[in-house]
Amino acid sequence: MKPTSSTETQDTFDDDAPKLSQADFERGRLRIGGQVVSRAEWQAAVRARVSKQRINIMLDRPIIEHFKALAGEGSYQTLINDTLRRMIQSEHLEADLRRIIREEIRAPDRPNN
């Protein structure tokens, strides 16, 4: 969460997590699907996953203002992108749940175990 004022710093947050040192990061291992990979392999996987395409799109002013207000000093475009991604994922989830429920309703009665 962003500080509410310019005088508030990260040190004022009540956080139980230990501070990480450079040594902690150096001991870290990059993994894809649980497998340790090289930095080059990891970077290629990240680039493939987050590949973006520049487009021009017209949005209503209230929509842009809403996301700019949510983003504060962050990227409102990233918030719009994340919102669209979540919408797509939730549609998939809804469709999957509907399919599973239909299958269960049509399934013959199973004996109680």
pLDDT digits (tens, 9 = 90+) for 21-71: 999 888 889 888 888 999 888 888 887 777 777 889 999 999 999 999 999
What pLDDT does 106 receive? 85
Q: Residue 7 pLDDT > 70, yes or no?
A: no
What pLDDT does 111 receive? 58
What pLDDT does 110 receive? 59
Q: Residue 99 pLDDT > 70, yes or no?
A: yes
Locate all alpha helices (DSSP H) within 1-113, ordered by sequence.
22-27, 39-49, 61-71, 76-106
Measured CA to CA in angstroms, residue 15 lies from 7, 10, 11 at distances of 18, 9, 9
List the structure tokens of 95.
Answer: 């469709």
Over range 85-98, report the average pLDDT. Answer: 86
